[in-house]
Amino acid sequence: MVLGGRYPSRQRPVGWTARSLMDLTLSAQELQFRNTVRGWLQANVPPPWTRPLRDSEAKREYFAYLRDWQRTLFDGGWAGISWPKEHGGRGVSIIEQSIFQEELALAQAPDRLGVIGEGLVGPTIIAVGTEAQKQRFLKPLLMGEHIWCQGFSEPDAGSDLAALGTKAVLDGDHYVVNGQKIWTSFGHVANWCLLVVRTDSAAPKHKGLTCLLVDMKSPGVVVRPLRMMTGDEESNELFFTDVCVPESNLLGQVNQGWGVAMTALDKERANLGTGLYLRYKRHLDSLLERAKTMRRAGRPITEDPIVRQKLAQSYLDLEVFRLNSLRTLSGMSHSNAPSPEGSILKLYWSEMNQRNAQLALEVLGLPGQSWDFDDGRWGYNYLRSRGNTIEAGTSEIQRNIIAQRVLGLPRSY
């Protein structure tokens, strides 16, 4: 577990007393929060989804299942818990938010359909949206009626977001949008999109961008699923042809979209690590269990000293990630703000997961990478891990951020 309770006060060893004030246990209030969450989840988490998602009918049903779950959360007061109360949230601390994530994972609750809405779009609307936008968008978002996606990256603007070329031209009281976006998660199920467009081609790159809130049912919006090397369609391309967006759906000021997008991305980077840790912990636990059942050349593979090294290395790597997450969480609980230190976590978990996905294949051997072994999860994890150092800011970008924004080295050329 990431966030421990209190340990039983066993007999302390002779010789020292623990008067350390650095303290990794939860406060009484936090423990109470956890119990409340846990109790609610026990009563409300639906049975896990187990059916395969081979056809579109199954996918539709799965989507409804996830949307119902979001509605259940909303009704229980557990949607957008970190948002301010006046906007429908619960105003919990960052540590409580982390406890919530941890409990969701422990309860094997369904995935969250609204992560982009809750984590990125909503907070940005709260930060820079008009009163009317807040009224219109925040509640449906929390209820799961609006599913959001983000339209930032383009084929020719990946790491270099400011280079994007999707254009919007003001025509009376609406913008006309033309262009293409890529890497849009949830694009196939979203009904709204936070879109960054170029509104001034003459201005310097960063200065001519604007953010729009786009109804995905608008005529001229086409979504094409994007298949990854894993075989999953986990992302999408969006095509915009003469799409009309009312001027009232401008988010923030015109030509100030760069700042709005950066605000949004900073919120995205503020991943607390808890959910990720628990996901990878499940992978590792199941690897350990699997390894204990396997024999190679006449003996259990867990007796092979080299296999033992690899399993232990995976374990320690993941544990160091947990501790880094805890430490970042503790730091953020003071500042209550994301910081460039988040880049360290991103860099750490992405490269760790790549190392560990590889080690799992080495431990299991060639049979273990088949799609017919444990549902193919080990081969899948390996392939999926290769995207970790690219998505949400490549490792190169993260190292630049650490060097420049954390260590204060000069901008590189």
Partner 1 sequence: MEFDLSKPQKLLRETARATLSRHFPLSRVREWMAIGATNEDSLWSTIADQGWVGLHLDNSIGGLGLGLVELTVVAEEMGRACMPGPYLATTWAATLLAQIDSPKSTELLPSITAGEHKATVALMDQDGDWDLKNIAMQLTPSEPGWKLTGRKTLVLDADSAHTLLCVVRQSSKLAIVFVPRKATGVSCEKKRSLDATRSLYDVAFNEVTIAESDVLAVGEQAHSAIEQSIRVATLAACAEMLGAMQWIHETTIEYAQTRKQFDRSIGSYQAVQHQCADIHLMTESARAATYYAAWALTSNAPDACKAIAIAKAYCSEVGREVGHRGVQVHGGIGFTWEHDMHLFLKRIKVCEFLFGDATWQREQIARLILK
> What is the per-residue burial (b if ≥16 Cβ within 10 Å, else e) of 346-374?
bbbbbbbbbebbbbbeebbeeebbeeebe
Binders in 31-90 for partner 1, by CB under 8 A: none
Using CB under 8 A as the binding rule, whether residue 381 contacts partner 1 is answered as no
Q: Closest distance between a copy of itself and the C-beta of residue 412, in Å?
A: 8
Q: Assess contact for 229 and 386: CB atoms under 8 A.
A: yes
CB of 7 or CB of 132, closer to partner 1: 7
Which range, of 80-88, 112-120, 273-281, 390-398, touches partner 1 by CB under 8 A? 390-398
- Give the span between the Cα atoms of 400 and 398, in whole angstroms: 5
CB of 176 or CB of 392, closer to partner 1: 392
CB of 159 or CB of 253, closer to partner 1: 159
Using CB under 8 A as the binding rule, whether residue 286 contacts partner 1 is answered as no
Q: Closest distance between partner 1 and the C-beta of residue 403, in Å?
A: 4
Q: Assess contact for 238 and 221: CB atoms under 8 A.
A: yes
Binders in 294-353 for partner 1, by CB under 8 A: 294-298, 302, 305-306, 308-309, 311-313, 315-316, 319-320, 323-324, 326-327, 329-331, 333-334, 344, 347-348
The CB-based long-range contact list for 137-141 (8 Å cut-off, 24+ gap) reads 137/192, 137/213, 138/83, 138/87, 138/88, 139/88, 141/80, 141/114, 141/117
Binders in 275-314 for a copy of itself, by CB under 8 A: 304-306, 309
- Give the span between the Cα atoms of 349 and 311, in whole angstroms: 17
Query: Is residue 268 annotated as a catalytic residue, yes or no?
Result: yes
> What is the per-residue burial (b if ≥16 Cβ within 10 Å, else e) of 154-185?
beebbeebbebebbbeeeeebbbbbbbbbbbb
Q: Closest distance between partner 1 and the C-beta of residue 247, in Å?
A: 31
Residue 21 interface partner, choices a copy of itself, partner 1, none, CB cut-off 5-8 Å depending on type: partner 1
Using CB under 8 A as the binding rule, whether residue 367 contacts partner 1 is answered as yes
Binders in 194-233 for a copy of itself, by CB under 8 A: none
Could you give the residue numbers annotated as active site? 268
